[in-house]
Chains A and B, each alone.
Chain A
């Protein structure tokens, strides 16, 4: 009986077991979340572009009082002995201070490389040493080889080396005249320490600078072309004759077009992320200092700002006066320094520093001890920059258009033929998930399911122009690159199907960045060394508490892997946006890396790149993950779509994945405004299925959830595309707070209303939070 009761108890308890069937809620509800409040605070923030609404008094004062203008007599007095001229420009050159005046004949104004209007504020300012910097157009930075250190790096101007005496030495006061701030005492220029000789050859001024005081010499070539003033520094002419000093960088015309305080009704343009403006309004106790093309892990430089285009602009008077400078050669080794009016200086200016050799830390033990060093050899790369003056196109759109034309002429941009609405769908096919022992491949979207989804969309008249496949390799996705060619089942058939539908199909790959989880990368063989001869390995925390090491791969190895795979089309992350110098039995700079990447990129027929920099743009058929804002330094006054406008009508640009849009219609309006196209990432399986994989960073991907939105977004953008096409933007005006008008090459206009109210222009009403095409 006891046994029977025991048995009964067990059976009773066992019968209580309810098998829980995993249940997924298949209900689909489109996201109609409460919209964000678009009030004046939001629209007047630096997330949007503001009106060019300058006080007329300021404009009048600028035109009347703050124009650079020197008569011939004054120029002679100041030493501008040389001049060259072309149809558009006249250049006056003063060799002793290395200063220039660039005159625009068409728009009748002049820019100076010196800090003009010193001392006009009615109080003492600067001292002799600072004046030497303000008044010289060539700065040299160097270290003592016996005591290399970032802290002891010294920057001198030519006037510093020459130890000049000013007619009025010491601080500039209000009693000085504009000329006397620059006049030096005759004979005070010490040519024993610095000598500048100029040779004019075919309208090129070749200035040989012999900085005897620091045992260095170089040539700077100044010439005029149809774009403007070209500055060229040949690397083979940079020489060091002693063992005491080592040059580190050169800066030419650091005060070119500098704006004093808020005297100019204009702004500074920084191509940071999508683009940002800093209007000349108030002091800013900060600076920007950033390498072009992002940071350099080879030198442990983690620049915050991302300058994908080596160009910077200063608009003095919107639509009247301004300039921009582009670094046409040597951008990889150039740094932008944007300095603002503050307690330390009265000027807004942009300075370009060309790095001749970096200062790096030589590590001698595991604790990280070491000392700063410099490579023995100077760079063997040249520097070339062009200063272009602007007239009625003196605005960020004008700069973008100019620059686009130049890039097209140089072949740095290649116009893509776009015959349908660019629309990107990414399919996450699977990733590695933890299993009992190790990991296993978890399928999120099979090839059949991809085909089925695409067929469904095509039947609904949604035609994606490009499809990117993530997790096509059984290696997985996140942190597993570069992936081995372990294709999932049916991949080639799927690719053939998509090609037959006229869809560009791209496999995702990354040959530049890897991690310890990758099966193809060997730590000792493939992970690059930085200048400190440490492996370029960064530990990145993961949400499951297991930090993993991310690696930067030797460029040669990246090239070898790419050749090995021999893919004709791909979606490559990292390569366009990550450019590092490295050490491999010798020092290799970013240009060396870029040249290897050039070779890698040329082998692809169809390529999509993730926020690439200029050097990679010519290889790209698609540009993805364009940001919608700058790096968000608090002092930016506006966000402007500078980079998208440079690419407008040339290269289709996609946004980041719209799955993660938390700001609703506003993001889509910004995309339409900036000329960006939609991007979704989807899976057939519910996102929860992959919650234990590293792909859980994509926290919402289920096709069922996004099906309606994919369709409605397609329709929205198709309407705009049908009306506007794929065209170059020729102007962008902010008519009112939150109202933007974009004009295209064929004069079609698009009006964007970011406000919560209807806006009326002429007899056209633009609904709140909408876009309207006006032909």
Chain B
């Protein structure tokens, strides 16, 4: 997904139809669950200025930036060896750490108003406290613990970033340290690690865990968690981390568990910051700025890479911070500058709505969310917010609509439950009457032969067509379901089925599959209709089918299998009957289920898969007359053969392409040189 977005954004140079009313050098995106992709949105921030000099101090290698509660700016400049303190309102500058710091790379203002600095060169972290005369005193140093089981003499201690929590505990990010953040009490006592990443639970890692010890895993296989790259703290003192190679960010609770995470993100974030509305901002190494909602949803993506000295784009961003007016400040160490972005009216509106939403004032948030939707009908959080607002107002039908647009499954499920409950309650009388009528018919049918009267047209039709060969062949499938051994024998020896009937079965299966993917309730269907490419689906069904039939026939023909190609083809098609019956049924059932009844849907699907799998295994066994052990072996070899056929075809295609290209190149060169 992120690669896709990267390609999209990199290729996106002012298409002919681009909305650029606001005069910014980039496009702004948001994520739309409706479409399952990123969509344009109103510009949320506009670039204002680029600054390198603050009074008489010119940035050299700025690494980190933060604000305190009074919107005083703190910049850590590694090459200047100071913390630059800038008051934008009064346009005054101070410095911290002259003579103490040598290469500060991280700066943070704690809840106590003290300034915390990580210095990569001195290998220490510092705490500075403000004096009444606007100077700062060093009050505490955080160093590598001595005689600690966590650090041997050889272990590096390279502080890069620093932060604190609301208890003024200090967290120091050490470069390359896979254990997480070094945790200190405010008085400098080290007491452990926090926020380290875990090893992903991939198949490879799981298998390695089973067979090798930790030392081997670390040294031989390099299975170690990725080191945290940067950190931030929110207004409640909770720590957020971002790691290169991992998407987005993680927010951790005080117990060191992941409280929430971004639903999407770039994997090369340089920095994070939590804004005044508890939205999270990140900047990537390519200059993309992402603003997330408090729940991790993507609000805005904008900016990008600068190749032409354009204000609003970046060459080497290192840090991001946001002041109380939601103005974004980003440092760029390639240009040694600070760029400022201001929020537009649209962003201000979104933030107002978020503030109400976060406070649980869903109903009050209704109007601002509606205004947001007027500006962009696909804005996810707005649809989500409206869903919650209507839900709170007990207007469940409206909530249902907006949850579906936002593809919020839990919300939709809850709203649907309410709607369904309402319908059931209101139609109680109708259901009782209906059941009574059905009861009457079943009794009447039994004693008064009503069924005979009602079903007579069906019987007449059945009488007329039952002798047709094709109809018999099609009906044979049902016999095969209940008598698989006899059924496959009938296919093989008694010509009970034909190519035509098998093709019909297969096409029916495909049609049912299409109905399934298009019509299944989105609670149980991850696909978005507009994203379904019919030709892709054709290939995804037809190709495996053809490969399986072909491979199975080829394999079995050299392994003493008795089945002909026709037998394999026909029998495979007939084995799909459970799916042909089950898929539309599940589609229908899914319309009436909520997530609470998901087990019903899952169970139904499981039954379909198991039955179809069973019949396929039986097919191989009976058609080719194998024992069970040989059957399993045959199936595995069939799968392998199918893959090999695919690989060979692909290679031949590539080689042919090279040959054609060679001729074209010769022609081109002759033409050009001629």
Contacts and interface: CB of A to CB of B under 8 A. Distances in A.
Nearest to A362: B672
B62 to A, nearest CB: 16
Contacts of A458: none
Interface string B351-381: 0100000000000000100110111111000
Contacts of A545: 4, 8, 37
Nearest to B528: A692
B214 interface: no
Nearest to A304: B308
Interface in A645-674: 655-664, 667
A700 B374 contact: yes
A209 to B, nearest CB: 34
Interface string A666-696: 0100000000000000000011100110001
Interface string B411-442: 00000100110011001000100110011001
B420 A20 contact: no
A699 B39 contact: yes
A411 interface: no
Interface stretch (A218-226, A386-394, A447-455, A536-544): A536-544
A18 B419 contact: yes
Interface stretch (A33-41, A66-74, A89-97): A33-41
A595 interface: no
A286 interface: yes
Contacts of A364: 665, 668-669, 672-673
Interface in A17-50: 17-18, 20, 22-23, 25, 27, 29, 31-37, 41-42, 45-47
A296 interface: no
A4 B443 CA distance: 10
Contact of A543 (B37, B346, B668): B37
A469 to B, nearest CB: 15
Given A662-B44, A691-B34, A42 B664 contact: no
Contact of B377 (A477, A633, A635, A686): A686
Nearest to B514: A436
B370 A42 contact: no
Contacts of A34: 345, 348-349, 352
Contacts of B9: 541
Nearest to B8: A541
B592 A541 contact: no
Interface in A673-729: 686-688, 691-692, 696-700, 702, 705
Nearest to A477: B17
Interface stretch (A144-152, A161-169, A402-410, A623-631): A623-631
The number of chain A residues touching the other chain, given as a range, is 35 or more
B40 A543 contact: yes
Contact of B374 (A11, A437, A705): A705
Interface string B13-42: 101111111111100010010110111111
A522 interface: no
Contacts of B534: 436-437
A509 B285 CA distance: 40
Nearest to A510: B16
A193 B427 CA distance: 103
B345 A662 contact: yes
Given A18-B416, A633-B309, A661 B588 contact: no
Residue among B16, B401, B427, B442 with most chain A CB within 10 A: B16
B597 to A, nearest CB: 10
Interface in B575-629: 588-589, 591-592
B309 A365 contact: no
A27 B591 CA distance: 29
A364 B342 CA distance: 49
B228 to A, nearest CB: 31
Interface string B278-300: 00000000000000000000000
A539 B13 CA distance: 10
A8 interface: yes
A697 B371 contact: no
B118 interface: no
A324 to B, nearest CB: 24
A31 B325 contact: no
Given A364-B672, A686-B377, A696-B378, A36 B348 contact: yes
Residue among A47, A656, A662 with most chain B CB within 10 A: A662
Contacts, number: 255
Contacts of A657: 19, 21
Residue among A45, A632, A692 with most chain B CB within 10 A: A632
Contacts of A627: 20, 23
Contact of A662 (B17, B21, B377, B435): B21
A544 B377 CA distance: 17
B11 A697 contact: no
Contacts of B374: 29, 31, 700, 702, 705
A660 B32 CA distance: 18
Given A36-B344, A631-B25, A662-B22, A18 B420 contact: yes
B667 to A, nearest CB: 10
B26 to A, nearest CB: 10
B20 A633 contact: no
Nearest to B671: A533
B376 A633 contact: no
B453 to A, nearest CB: 18
A612 to B, nearest CB: 14
Nearest to A539: B11
Contacts of B367: 29
B344 A688 contact: no
B434 A691 contact: no
A366 interface: yes
B378 A688 contact: yes
Nearest to B88: A41
A633 B310 contact: yes
B79 to A, nearest CB: 18
Interface in B486-502: none
B413 to A, nearest CB: 13
Given A364-B665, A544-B35, A662-B345, A656 B11 contact: no
Nearest to B12: A541
Contacts of A31: 345, 349, 371, 374-375
A4 B439 CA distance: 8
Interface stretch (B45-53, B190-198, B561-569): B45-53
Given A4-B442, A33-B346, A696 B530 contact: no
A434 interface: yes
A365 B669 contact: yes
B23 A17 contact: no
A441 to B, nearest CB: 16
Q: Which 3 A-B pairs have the closest CB atoms?
A: A629-B23, A16-B592, A34-B348
19 contacts: A8-B435, A14-B592, A15-B427, A31-B345, A31-B371, A33-B346, A35-B345, A36-B342, A41-B48, A46-B49, A47-B48, A364-B673, A437-B534, A478-B17, A543-B29, A543-B35, A550-B16, A627-B20, A700-B377
Given A17-B592, A25-B386, 5 more contacts: A15-B434, A16-B592, A660-B20, A662-B44, A691-B378
